[in-house]
Structure 1
Amino acid sequence: MRLSLRSVLTASIAWLSTCIPSPAVTSDRRCVFLASPQNTKWIRRAGNISGPSQHCARTECCMGYFLLDSRKPTPILLSCSIIQTRCPNSSCHASLLHQKFIRCVCSSDFCNANISFNQQAQQTEYTQPQYSSDLLTVNVLIIPAGALFLFISLVMALKWKILLKQCRPVTPPNTHDVFEISNTDLDKHLEMQKVIACGHFASVWQGIFQGSSVALKVFPTALQQEFNKEKDVYKLPLMTHSGIVRFFGHGKIGKEFLLVLELATQSSLNALLSRTVCDWACTLKLARTLSQGLAYLHTDLKMNGVYKPAVAHCDLSSSNVLVKADGSCALCDFGCSTVLQRRGYSGIVEGKMQMGTLQYMSPEILEGCVNLSSGRCLLQADVYSLGLLLWEMLMRCSDLCTGSPGPEHTLPYEMELGRSPSLEDLLTFVVEKRHRPAIPHLWARVSQDLLLQELLEDCWDHDADARLTAECAANRLASLTLED
């Protein structure tokens, strides 16, 4: 019996809810709000701002960050919680983040206006003036927000100014044999410099560990499960490949969980495409290295008695691909990934499957028609996402738009459905009508246009079994010449 679109939509929303960023929910929580103009854009995600107060849109939690100066807490961030988290306490009780920094989350109106902190058996309490619903006045410096671990670079500079003077570029730390980094090593050798990205589950810092520049992915205490899942993927045997972000180790800072990763100096692929147009050589390098990294991730291999299972990324998007200094791509963000254990011919899905960014999802994932008895369906869903990523790159290639300035960077289906299409919109456009992103007529002037169009269509074919494998897509890209 054919299911109605509404039935499919209802079932799909329930099934996909884990990794898709939660939409705004009705909340009556109000919190003290403080933000400098340049940082307000980050805080707005947490709810509507009205003067010095904020009406929470996503959670029932307020949050506060404080700097301990002579044992007196000075507020550096007060707002609604920007991510989903638990806040069982109605009042603001501090937890120590790292040396002089404390934070709290609480579950009553304006509870982040007051913080209690117990240090060395002495209770220190910071209390702001009493606030009414129409008047909240405080003057502090506010830092970039977007997760539960954000501070301004000035504050961090004060914290690490001695270490900054000693920093010098050296070879990245060799921690492949020792994955767990002790808290003592983090205290002595870790320098957190500035926030470079904010995600739904974690914040990413640029920092220095043991004298080397690294990326530090920080997870709040409440998201230990998400931390463990990503950590376990990075720790799989034989996961070292140029197309996968290098993993140096993991540890804890206070109660926060930390992944120490390779620093990609050109940020995400999304950021790169947003700020610059690439020539054909640059575009081809991005495409080749991305497909090679995905092909390696999808490969199960055994070497010297060590086995690496195939891994489906399950959240492949331009925000989850990083670009290194040499212009090559590297996969990251494995929080939604699924490890496939080999049993005969088929890969068996282990653990709870999670899906990621909505507009990069394949038709079968959108529709909820996935055969979980075989891992191949998840690998082929990644290839569909790869096709959209290749289209996204090619749309910003100047050599494919000769005689035209070329379009601005757009995400898949943005031109047809807007920046953030709904699941129902995608079900209609992608699944029922079987439409895909439009390939510009300008590409027809390029000698390799037919090869490019065929590659995209074979990656995003509606039939998952008819799609290329990631390895085949990589081989096709390798066969393309540098001449446009």
Structure 2
Amino acid sequence: MAYLGITRAFLTWLVLRRTCEALWCNCTTARCEKTGFRCETDGACMASSSLIEGHEQHVRTCIARDNLEPPGQPFYCLSAQGLVTIHCCYSDYCNSIDLQVPSVTSQPGPQGGAGPGASWGTVRLAAVIAGPLLLLCGLLLAGVCVCQHQRRACGTRQRLELEDPSCDNLYVPHDRTLQDLIYDLSTSGSGSGLPLFVQRTVARTIVLQDVIGKGRFGEVWRGRWRGGDVAVKIFSSREERSWFREAEIYQTIMIRHENILGFIAADNKDNGTWTQLWLVSDYHEHGSLFDYLNHYSVTSEGMIKLALTAASGLAHLHMEILGTQGKPGIAHRDLKSKNILVKKNCTCAIADLGLAVRHDSITDTIDIAPNQRVGTKRYMAPEVLDESINIRHFDSFKCADIYALGLVYWEIARRCNSGGATLCGLASWQRPSKLIWRPVLAGIHEEYQLPYYDLVPSDPSLDEMKKVVCDQKIRPSISNWWQSHEALRVMGKIMRECWYANGAARLTALRIKKTLSQLGVKEDVKV
């Protein structure tokens, strides 16, 4: 290696030395006949030998200095073909030597090593061979990854995502009833819903019976599953986000509660032309609190029972349960009488959690970017109507729920009949089979009405509600005769404390629950 370095240095020096001197070389080309087969150059002399179609050919000529790049071992002087030997030199007539014609198996270069042509051919050959092999290996690797992904599809899909068709062999045993599944949910400790494959099996074996309600999202059907009734909320495909959000909230850890609608399953049905998004829950034949109060009046005991259980459900939603199996605080954001169901025992179950938000107390964040104006305009709190609500503070959403709960209490209290029977006060053989029955009872003082019915139209705008609630600071009127009845007097006091313009001054759901529990003891209410 040292010898080669010295040689290159010498050649470089020699080339530079000759830059100002003319170099004479032997020349065998036709252009050199007039000069006696010699040529003059400022570069180098060159001799080459080659074997072309079995014939030896020897060429001697001059190389201009511009072609000597780099000067030490210029490219021009290197063999470009495997069967050519080229030699360059830098003294007068130094190219008179005869070079040995190279063989097929050996292509020595000027320095005695393999020429660049041979090595370049090897690289090309390797590239030609390796390219297809690498492509084949890549395709095989991709195929293996796809197969492994499909095999893991059953066990690794996220919640609410449809399983692979290969999971269809998972089923619910035929001896399991809806009551068994619900019991397992209430005793399993997680309270986060049925396993996904069970949800899918249940949802796809439900037989729809009749429509029991309609809304902006779609329809609600009564369905039958193994002899039991279920409610099926069917969302249109454009409401996919609402469906996913509500199912996600219902499957929050530890959310199951006797005063929150019991979630059973979520699934989608796609027949190739349209998609239905199903949310399956417990069925309550009395329907919503709005429907119930439209058809029936309530006793003071019934009023307290409805109000107490509604507060109990909301308190559980708002409450944060710490621990590994804990529950985040949840705000409803669309509480109203149409989103509260009445169970068979005349207690309430809060439903429709599609607009709810969850609070992460560790990071003090709300899990979705909330819209300041969300829900039903008639039930919006003052701070929601005038957009002064602090959307970064979770307690602000809980306070807005309390305002709406006070309006629901006003709807219930108007239907209170201190004397006379009600639906829940009748014996089972006296109760009507359909909600269209309207009992004629003595002592009913007020018909059912929505809050602010006398101040705004049936479908009020935000500006109309803001004018009444924020600018004029009006609240639903409370009848004077309520003061003569203890239960109604306490209910009126609770309502006023739910309607404060300052959300922080309102009662909490837990405080309302305790107050009504004490009132229920006096009235001997069994919940």
TM over 0.5: yes
State whether residues 196 and 206 of structure 1, in contact with CA within 8 Å, keep that contact through their aligned partners in structure 2.
Answer: yes
Q: Is the 8 A contact 1:173 1:210 kept in 2?
A: no
How many Å separate the matches in 2 of 1:182 and 1:246? Answer: 13
State whether structure 2 residue 411 is matched by structure 1 residue 372.
no
Q: Return the match for 2:280 from 260, 265, 271.
A: 260
| 1:260 CA displacement | 1.1
- 1:253: Cα distance to partner? 2.1
* Secondary structure class of the residue paired with 1:196: strand
Match of 2:235, as an amino acid? F
CA separation of 1:185 and 1:237: change in aligned 2, threshold 3 A: closer
- 1:353 maps to 370
**Alignment match, 1:231:** 247
Give the alignment partner of residue 449 of structure 2, picking from 410, 417, 421. 410
CA, structure 1 residues 443+348, in 2 after alignment: closer, same or farther (shift >3 Å)? same
Instruction: Give the conservation status (yes or no) of the 8 Å contact 2:308–2:517.
Output: yes
Supply the distance in 2 between the matched residues of 1:410 and 1:421 (Cα, whole angstroms). 15
**TM-score, with length taken from structure 2:** 0.56
Decide whether aligned partners of structure 1 residues 185 and 477 sit closer, same or farther in structure 2, where only a CA change above 3 A counts. closer
Per the alignment, residue 53 of structure 1 pairs with: none
1:387-466 counterparts in 2 under 5 A? 387-399=406-418, 404-466=443-505
Q: Which residue of 1 aligns with 2:438?
A: none
With the length of structure 1 as denominator, give the TM-score of the two structures: 0.61
Corresponding position of 1:205: 221
Question: Do residues 482 (structure 1) and 523 (structure 2) align?
Answer: yes
CA contact (8 A) 1:318 1:389 kept: yes
CA distance in 2, matches of 1:217, 1:313: 18
Counterpart in the other structure of 1:191: 207
Question: Aligned match of 1:171 in 144, 165, 179?
Answer: 179
Closer, same or farther: CA 425–242 of 1 in aligned 2, 3 Å: same
Aligned to 1:91: none
Match of 1:316 in 2: 335
Shift of 1:416: 2.4
280 and 179 in structure 1: CA distance in 2 versus 1, 3 angstrom threshold: farther
Distance apart, 1:219 and its partner CA: 1.1
* Residue 482 to residue 225, structure 1, CA distance change in 2 (3 Å): same
8 A contact 1:458–1:468 mirrored in 2: yes
Contact kept, 8 Å, 1:251 with 1:258, in 2: the verdict is: yes
Q: CA deviation at 1:392?
A: 0.7
Q: Distance in 2 between matches of 1:340 and 1:448?
A: 35
Q: Take 1:414 and 1:180, find their aligned partners in 2: how far apart are those partners?
A: 47
* Residues 1:311 and 1:241: Cα distance change in structure 2 (over 3 Å): same
2:369 partner letter: K
Match for residue 341 of structure 1? Answer: 360
Deviation at 1:180, TM superposition (A): 4.7
Match of 1:326 in 2: 345
Q: Which residue of 2 aligns with 1:242?
A: 258
Structure 1 pair 199–403 and aligned structure 2 pair: CA distance change class (3 A): closer
**Contact residue 221 and residue 256 of structure 1 kept, 8 A:** yes
Displacement of 1:412 in angstroms is: 0.6
**Residue by residue, what CA displacement relative to the aligned partner does 1:303-359 show, whole Å, maximum 9, x if unpaired?**
5x2121011000001000000101010011011111111137xx5322132411111
- Counterpart of 1:192, as a letter, is L
SS at structure 1 position matched to 2:253: coil
Mapped to 2, the partners of 1:240 and 1:362 lie a distance apart of: 27
* Larger relative strand fraction: 1
CA contact (8 A) 1:179 1:248 kept: no
Letter in 2 for 1:384: Y
Encode CA deviations 1:354-384: one digit per residue, 9 max, x unaligned.
4111111100001111112210000000000
CA positional deviation for 1:403: 7.9
- Kindly report the root-mean-square deviation, in angstroms, between the aligned alpha carbons of the 2 structures: 2.5
Answering whether residue 296 of structure 2 is matched by residue 296 of structure 1, we say no
SS in 2 for 1:457: helix
Q: Secondary structure of the equivalent of 2:291?
A: helix
Corresponding residue of 1:62: none
Once the 2 structures are TM-superposed, how far is the Cα of residue 170 of structure 1 from its aligned partner? Answer: 6.2
Structure 2: gaps spanning 5 or more residues: 1-173, 186-192, 421-440
Aligned-pair CA distance for 1:483: 6.9
Distance in 1 (CA, whole Å) between partners of 2:199 and 2:377 is 37
User: 1:400: Cα distance to partner?
Assistant: 8.4
Amino acid at match of 1:292: S
The amino acid across from 1:455 in the alignment is I
Q: Which residue of 2 aligns with 1:279?
A: 299
Larger radius of gyration: 2
Letter matched to residue 241 of structure 1:
H
1:429-467 Cα deviation digits (max 9, x unpaired): 110111100001111221344422221111111110000
Secondary structure of the residue that 1:301 maps to in structure 2? Answer: coil
Residue type at the aligned position of 1:422 = S
**Structure 2: how far apart are the matches of 1:446 and 1:186?**
48
| CA distance in structure 2 between the aligned counterparts of 1:180 and 1:371, rounded to whole angstroms | 40
User: Any idea what SS the aligned residue of 2:341 has?
Assistant: strand
**Is the Cα contact below 8 Å between 2:199 and 2:265 reproduced in 1?**
no
How many residues are aligned here? 315
After TM superposition, the structure 1 = structure 2 runs for residues 81-120 of structure 1, keeping only pairs within 5 Å, are: none
Cα deviation, 1:220-258, whole Å, max 9, x if unaligned, reads 222211111101100100011001001111112222111
| Native 8 Å contact 2:266 2:280 kept in 1 | yes
Deviation larger for 472-481 or 226-235: 472-481
Preserved CA contact (<8 Å) 1:186 1:253: no
Q: Give the equivalent residue in structure 2 for 1:148.
A: none
Instruction: Note the alpha carbon deviations across 1:244-284, whole angstroms, 9 max, x for none.
Output: 00111111222211111011121000000001111111111
Any idea what SS the aligned residue of 2:475 has? coil
Tell me the equivalent position of 2:59. none
Deviations 1:40-81 (A, max 9, x none): xxxxxxxxxxxxxxxxxxxxxxxxxxxxxxxxxxxxxxxxxx
Bigger helix share: 2
- Stretches of structure 1 that go unaligned for 5 or more consecutive residues are 1-165
Q: Secondary structure at the match of 2:317?
A: helix
